[in-house]
Amino acid sequence: MLIPDEYPMVSLLGSRDELLRVIEGAFRADIHVRGNEITVTGSPDESGTVVRLFEELVEVLRSGGELTPDAVERSIAMLRMTSDRPAEVLSLDILSSRGRTIRPKTVNQKRYVDAIDKHTVVFGIGPAGTGKTYLAMAKAVRALQEKRVNRIILTRPAVEAGERLGFLPGTLYEKIDPYLRPLYDALHDMVDPDSIPKLMAAGTIEVAPLAYMRGRAQPVSTGVLTPDGWRPIGELQVGDLVIGSNGEPTPVLGVYPQGEKKIYRLHSQDGASVLACENHLWTVRTRDDANRGKPWRVLETKDMIGDLRTAHYRKWELPTLTAPVHFPERDVPMDAYALGLLLGDGCITGTTTPSFATNDPELAEALERALPGVRMRWRGGPDYVINRVRRPGDSMTIANPVTEVMRELGLAGCRSSTKFVPEVYLRNTPEIRLAVLQGLLDADGGPVTQQGRTCRVHFATVSSRLRDDVVFLVRSLGGVAYWRTRPAKDRQPGLARGRQVHHRHDAHILDIRLPEGIEPFRLTRKAEVYRAHGGGRPMRYVDRIEPRGTAECVCIQVAAEDSLYVTEDFLLTHNTLNDAFIILDEAQNSSAEQMKMFLTRLGFNSKIVVTGDVTQVDLPSGTVSGLRVVQEILDGIPDIHFARLTSSDVVRHKLVSEIVDAYGRYDASQQAQEPKAIQQRGKRRP
């Protein structure tokens, strides 16, 4: 056969013909080289294999690969034992970094790499030195470079220190460093060492012991929004429904008690807050991320502490609901918009006939249309009396329809300082909640305009309970509500018909932002101003994070596509890992419970690679390896692949492969002798 002139023979045959000697020693054939011509004589099978070998080696050179004695030996083994082409294996580029290219070196390694591309969860099981972790790391770095994932998470059990690490000297990172060092070493081979600290500081690369992977948790008393209202997270069970970021119910897939943990309270600038542990996950982005169209990041609580400002801006924006919360529909005794108007400017004390005060006849007419059986009688100025429409034969004792409904809702007798939105309206469909809010804002609210800025919505009340209910309505619709209190004490009195009227109650002032498509007003004059200036976009930013001691914690996993769920004050958070490439190394040292916890952390658009050697388990006596159990549990499930490597895939010193085989033979002989030993012990018994 002729070798193309473009490939120097020294590249094919090696320095001082070292590669040629490897080939000659492996075949019973005569190989002669003259110039760029190679002649092979021998049996047809041997000669054909040698010719195929040289063709494959030329293909490796053509793809930019480098031939070594080890690569030639592996190519020979592939041609003899498999149908795979050596050139396809040895020329598959996984990652090029720092002047070197990482490629698989055996058929099983190529199948392992291909499986990582094709499956979401891959288990790489085999002896040490087979490249399980190294190849997975290379795939992770490439996925990050190609922006198929946003972060890499590397984890390893630290069983040698009992997962506690408390008795070791030094800081936390100094304690866990020896157990994570192999991951750091592989990472430094593939990524510029100067950029690694920056990537880790930004949360793009996370390296942590397996025990810390389960730390995304909240105190058991923390409220989580469900279709039935708020429930403590500690009471939730698998199958329960919680509200996701799209406002729809989503089932709980997993509940994981976490024990006592250090707790922080995260505050947003609109007054919302919630408790979470330092490892709890938050979806956030910066102003630059938003302006450049970059995806949201996922950071832990501790990652944001001390890094909450950029210049004079709050740095981390939090997501808001993408759609109003959908509670189940419930029957209501009064039109929702009418109720909002009466809560805003109505008199419902029950001691007199219900009345309504407004300078907008449009509202009086709307109220009359919404309340069957009543008519609005103008009494002068802004005052209207809500009278029952009498029909022939009616008794004088028939109650006013409005008064009757107010009694049913528990609102009869309420004054301006004690009004509230009944629960049947608060936890109802988006249409009902919006109608109540529109009535309140048409009566006691209004658009506030500023030159060059979008329009915000203003609302005022002296009822602290009504204030909280309005905040609930706004947040449940995907909006943001800021509020402040104006104390009654020492305030200048107002004027009513020329006389001074002192303030008897503190006033609560709300500034509201609602998402696009949510109209806050029905009253024509207010709606026109709002539409003319635009409502802007509701935004939430992390304002501060404060330590709050310790508490018993739990974490949950939900089925929502973005893994987000609604927690207290309608803040969105999650516990799973989206858009991540996650590698669990030395998985044979994880317990069955840890393995389940780890695998159920899988989020959307993420990939998990689990590596380990079931012959090197360091778990305490009596603890079953999670890597052993998981093969029985998950084998056969689509999109989960088990790649098994053997001693022939060892890419370290040749002696390592022989050591692995020797131990395998020893273990097999020991297992074979056990039945005989048991039988002999039985014969000795009297």
Q: What is the pLDDT of residues 380-419, one digit of tens each?
A: 889 999 998 877 655 555 778 899 999 999 999 899 999 9
Are 363 and 468 found together in one domain?
Answer: yes
Whole-angstrom distance, CA of residue 140 vs CA of residue 95: 10
Overall domain count for the chain: 4
Whole-angstrom distance, CA of residue 452 vs CA of residue 433: 31
| 675 lies in some domain | no
Name the DSSP class of 582.
E
Q: Is the CB of residue 387 less than 8 Å from the CB of residue 377? A: yes
Q: What is the mean pLDDT of residues 216-233?
A: 93
Q: Which helix (H) or strand (E) holds 621?
A: none
Whole-angstrom distance, CA of residue 347 vs CA of residue 416: 8
| 678 lies in some domain | no
| 347 lies in some domain | yes
CATH of the domain at 636: 3.40.50.300
> Domain span at residue 293?
217-320+549-574
Higher pLDDT, 169 or 444: 444
Are 370 and 506 found together in one domain?
Answer: yes
Q: What is the mean pLDDT of residues 538-546?
A: 95
Are 230 and 113 found together in one domain?
Answer: no
CATH of the domain at 558: 2.170.16.10
Answer yes or no: is pLDDT of 42 > 90. no
> From residue 130, how far is each of 120, 581, 612, 659 by CA, in Å?
21, 21, 10, 13
Are 245 and 302 found together in one domain?
Answer: yes
| 83 lies in some domain | yes
Whole-angstrom distance, CA of residue 347 vs CA of residue 349: 6
Whole-angstrom distance, CA of residue 99 vs CA of residue 96: 7
Q: What is the mean pLDDT of residues 227-249?
A: 94
Are 345 and 436 found together in one domain?
Answer: yes
Nearest to 645 by CA among 91, 107, 140: 107
Nearest to 212 by CA among 280, 268, 146: 280
Return the pLDDT at 99.
63
CATH of the domain at 82: 3.30.1370
Answer yes or no: is pLDDT of 168 > 70. no
Out of 137-146, 376-385, 617-626, least confident range:
617-626
The CA-CA-CA angle for residues 526, 527, 531, to 5°, reads: 120
Q: What is the rounded average pLDDT for all residues in the chain?
A: 84
Which range of 36-40, 147-151, 156-160, 569-573 scores highest in mean pLDDT? It is 569-573
Kindly list the strands in the beta sheet with 297-300, ordered across the sheet, starting from the edge strand earlier in the chain. 229-232, 223-226, 564-567, 571-574, 281-284, 297-300
SS3 label, residue 627: helix
Whole-angstrom distance, CA of residue 628 vs CA of residue 634: 11
Q: What is the mean pLDDT of residues 280-297?
A: 86
SS3 label, residue 19: helix
Are 379 and 506 found together in one domain?
Answer: yes
Q: What is the DSSP string of 476-541?
A: HTT-EEEEEEE-STTPPPEEETTEEE---S-EEEEEEE--TT-----SHHHHHHHHHH------EE
| 175 lies in some domain | yes
Q: What is the mean pLDDT of residues 103-125?
A: 90
SS3 label, residue 452: coil
Q: What is the mean pLDDT of residues 439-467?
A: 92
| 520 lies in some domain | yes
Return the pLDDT at 48.
81
Out of 408-412, 505-509, 535-539, 646-650, least confident range:
646-650
Q: Is the CB of residue 601 less than 8 Å from the CB of residue 563? A: no
Are 87 and 114 found together in one domain?
Answer: no
> From residue 27, how far is each of 43, 100, 109, 258 by CA, in Å?
10, 32, 25, 61
| 186 lies in some domain | yes
Are 392 and 523 found together in one domain?
Answer: yes
Higher pLDDT, 433 or 554: 433
Looking at the DSSP bridge assignments, the partners of residue 129 are: none
Band of residue 66 on the pLDDT scale cut at 50, 70, 90: confident
Are 514 and 595 found together in one domain?
Answer: no
| 284 lies in some domain | yes
Model confidence over 301-352: pLDDT tens digits? 988 998 999 888 999 999 999 999 999 999 999 999 999 999 999 998 878 8
Are 130 and 28 found together in one domain?
Answer: no
Give the predicted TM-score (pTM) of the model.
0.69
